[in-house]
Amino acid sequence: MSTYLALGAGALAGLGVSVVGAALVPARPDLASAYRRFQARDDLHPRAALPTGGGASGWVREVGLPMAADRLGLHRYAADLRLLARSGDRLAAAKIGYALLGLLFPPTLAGLLLLVGVHPPGLLPVALGVVLGGALFLVPDVTLRRDAAAARAGLRRATAAYIDLVALERLSDAGTSEALDRAAAVGQCPEFNRIRDALVRAELAGRPSWAGLADLAQQTGVVELDDLADIMAVARQDGAAVYTTLRARAASLRTQLLTAAAADANAASEHMVVPVSLLGVCFMALLAYPAIVQIMFG
């Protein structure tokens, strides 16, 4: 009986590893999905704009993973997925793969223990598998949110520099669209590449350049880009001198970034209090151990 349990556990473990491997192996991107992600109008519909395409192939990629992404409610991560240029079906595959891995690991380990003569409690591997599978099911969500927060913070820092550059271009009597384009051409980081892409998409669609910034702000959640778009739209329509306004907005954004960085540093310092305190307690216990033993057993 134990041999059949071990074989079944091994087969389930192999199936889980195969699913994870199929999700991680790169495949040829789907041209239609890539084109839909490129269209700026998709950014206006978060549920419809959930990125698709990616790792699996055949009916799994075309039917199974999109259906899984819809059933799992992954459309709530549409903004984060677009920000990181990741696909919803890839996230669904990662969640399912991690859950299967956590679900099958305790029974597999129990089967291996049975082979060496150790008999764990009957329901313990199943209970541990359910708990571990549920915990690992949430790991891709946490990773996605952490990466999206880091990417959004990087884009906000780039936006602060970009607003200053636009202000300098306006001070040199550059036009509204010209100032946006020339300022975006200065930086070579990925964040400036996103800004340049947004400006190019707006121009190709026959829209003003600042409309591309508004779309990018809605896509990424960086509202400072929307503020810049509003300022430049007013400058184009009314011919207003916006140099002072832009410099003030850039200074305000830098202050917000410094405040957020200081808050993160304080939070990291507070998180270190418990480990340092435990280390001090362990050190004191190590010093006091010989004296306590001498008193109690001397």
Of 137, 165, 185, which marks where a domain is finished? 137
Q: Is residue 282 part of a domain?
A: no
Same domain (yes/no): 123, 168: no
Would 203 be classed as within a structural domain? yes
In this structure, the answer to whether residues 159 and 108 fall within a common structural domain is: no
- Assess if residue 127 is contained within a domain: yes
Residue 34 in domain: yes
- Same structural domain for residues 182 and 114? no
Question: What range defines the domain where residue 6 resides?
Answer: 2-137
pLDDT tens-digit readout, 44-87: 333 434 554 444 444 344 444 555 555 566 777 777 888 887 87
Distance CA 51, CA 54 (A): 9
User: What pLDDT is stored for residue 23 in this prediction?
Assistant: 59
Confidence (pLDDT) at 28: 59
In a domain, 281, yes or no: no
- Residue type, position 296, single letter: M
Decide which of 137, 168, 191 is a domain's last residue: 137
CA 18 to chain centre: 25
- Indicate the number of domains in the chain: 2
Do 180 and 262 lie in one domain? The reply is yes
Contact 166, 242 (CB under 8 A): no
Co-location of 215 and 93 in the same domain:
no
- Give pLDDT, residue 209: 87
Domain match, 19 and 108 both? yes
Asked whether residue 146 is assigned to any structural domain, the reply reads: no
Q: Is there a domain that residue 144 lies in? A: no
70 and 111 co-located in one domain? yes
pLDDT attached to residue 36:
56
Q: Which pLDDT belongs to residue 29?
A: 58
Residue type (1 letter), 281: V
Q: Are 159 and 98 within one domain?
A: no
Report the half-sphere exposure of 210 (CA within 13 A, side-chain side): 19
- pLDDT score at 74: 72
85 and 208 within one domain: no
Structure confidence at residue 129 (pLDDT): 86
Question: 172 and 45 in one domain?
Answer: no
Which segments of the chain have a pLDDT < 70?
1-73, 237-240, 298
pTM of the shown model: 0.64
Which pLDDT score, from 0 to 100, does residue 179 have?
A: 87
In a domain, residue 200? The reply is yes
110 and 181 housed in the same domain = no
Both 88 and 120 in one domain: the answer is yes
pLDDT attached to residue 162? 92
Q: What is the model's pLDDT at position 234?
A: 83
Domain-ending residue, one of 89, 106, 137: 137
Q: Give residue 43's pLDDT.
A: 41
